[in-house]
A and B are shown apart, each in its own frame.
Chain A
């Protein structure tokens, strides 16, 4: 029993990290149909920027804030200069954004070197909480909390505010949305910034958990994509359920079938996609 509780907890906390990354990606995907292979780079660069801020100031919250804002700005520039021209060209988007990912990877290598780092978590978030015979690391609980908070905030903005309604309208039908006077370009840019911001924030939060190292970008990217695709592009609820599913499958796969751990993750995903190409909560 303890084994199952621990594994479910571990899977959920990894799912929480994935949600932070995938929430923005799914909105970008759903709204602009942009296949953004740079999303993993936002995660990695966010981690690096956060690391620098912590080295300079020692403040974890400030690290998240600075990283999120800086990378959001980077995303906006990238979108304004290149990506919005490639609407509808999947291959062009894939290759351009991979190009950016490689460039960002190299820039990170120039600035921060090739050493693997771990972001030091604040004292309050270290240690464990015990419940009977079980021990839960506080940091994992913190990640779940952050993801829950972000999920609630995003849900509130999307469902309860005017901007959110405009965003949902753009996801549903960008042409109709612009027809009724919504500035689709500005909404799209905002969503792109939001996606980069969340990914960078996830990079700082995750940097204390999985570390910050060259290659982390392309390691986590397929996970984020699988979450988005399984959940359904543009669906926040899908991203939430998808991240939990992926986090749990990944964790149980590694614990129960180490030799087939990635198989047990990606094969069910591929089958789900084959049965429902638009994902669990995507609209056909």
Chain B
């Protein structure tokens, strides 16, 4: 199913990403770093939205838990990278395991709303639980991880490769998962729960595992995000962050994994570059939301696959 041609574009992009640092300005490099980190979160949401067909309005919660794990453990307990990484992913998995129990009782609009409420729970804790999170001020001064490498991750270029490695790791893990029989079963659940149930699948369990995996990977993205920013605040968990992740997935193409990663890059670049030229970036971003739905409902990658002559049909139904 992955013809040579289908692999060409991603490999080209990867080559560009690997070779870019010496040729781009430090500003562009920070944007690339942001893009690959957000791509992790967007790909994790794609497991829910693209493969399971569940639109979540609370995905920033897992990103935030990962980020706050770094903020709290690194600044207050001086924990090392390994501990923090495990804790960040672990807490995100636990949160997703709890939230999943509640959220998966609903579908469709109700799923959207229950994840909205759950996302607000996480945001509310970050915002108000001042003794733990320092509230609205956020936690600043998060040090970059020390991996005893010959290069300091405090520098932009090594950290970029560090983030890129994290992105490739997340991509690899998610790629294996969605192309495994388990991943196929998620698509089956999206298309028809009844059919899958008749075939003997434990539908709820599959959805639940998909939900938890999605949260865990988002937590990993959150860990990298906090290290990159050196700062964690409730803004990382805001409703608008969750919505932006949805836009990244929709813009790139649901159920394509690489599409959402591309969508993340587009949105990060758009947000930052537009704000250089005009103060009206909210207008542009708003237009991007509306334009995506009206003109590219299946996303960039989905549209490319449709145009390509011998491509398979886009896996995600546009009207889902």
Contact = CB atoms under 8 A, between A and B. Distances in A.
Contacts of A101: 286
If over half of A's interface residues share one DSSP class (helix, strand or loop), that class is named, otherwise mixed; here it is helix
- Counting chain B CB atoms within 10 Å of each CB, the highest count among A94, A96, A100, A233 belongs to A94
Contact of B128 (A95, A105, A106, A263): A263
B114 interface: yes
A222 B124 CA distance: 12
Nearest to A82: B290
Contacts of B320: 89, 91
A218 interface: yes
Interface string B303-320: 000000000000000011
Contacts of A138: none
B243 A266 contact: no
Nearest to B115: A270
B288 A262 contact: no
A102 interface: yes
Given A92-B293, A95-B247, A260-B128, A229 B117 contact: yes
Contact of B112 (A35, A102, A270, A274): A35
A43 to B, nearest CB: 15
Contact of A96 (B112, B125, B127, B289): B289
B147 interface: no
Nearest to B130: A259
Interface of A: 29, 33, 35, 37, 82, 86, 88-92, 94-96, 98-103, 105-107, 109-110, 218, 221-222, 225-226, 229, 233, 258-263, 265-267, 269-271, 273-275, 277-278
B168 interface: no
B114 A274 contact: yes
Interface string B103-125: 10110111011101110110111
A262 B120 contact: yes
A189 B290 CA distance: 20
A122 to B, nearest CB: 34
Identify the 10 closest CB pairs spanning chains A and B, nearest first. Answer: A262-B124, A99-B289, A102-B286, A103-B286, A106-B282, A274-B102, A277-B106, A99-B290, A266-B120, A229-B113
Interface string B41-74: 0000000010000010100000000000000000
B131 interface: yes
A262 to B, nearest CB: 2
Contacts, number: 152
13 contacts: A88-B319, A90-B55, A90-B108, A90-B109, A92-B297, A95-B293, A96-B293, A98-B243, A222-B116, A262-B121, A270-B117, A270-B118, A273-B105
A263 B122 CA distance: 8
Given A95-B289, A99-B290, A258-B128, 19 more contacts: A35-B109, A35-B113, A37-B243, A82-B294, A94-B57, A94-B243, A95-B292, A95-B293, A99-B288, A99-B289, A102-B282, A106-B280, A106-B286, A222-B239, A225-B113, A266-B124, A274-B101, A274-B103, A274-B114
Interface of B: 49, 55, 57, 101-103, 105-106, 108-110, 112-114, 116-118, 120-121, 123-125, 127-131, 238-240, 243, 246-247, 250, 280, 282-283, 285-294, 297, 319-320
A105 B282 contact: yes
Contacts of B289: 95-96, 98-99, 102
A171 B294 CA distance: 27
A77 to B, nearest CB: 14
Nearest to A267: B121
B114 to A, nearest CB: 4
Nearest to B125: A263
Given A94-B55, A273-B117, A259 B290 contact: no
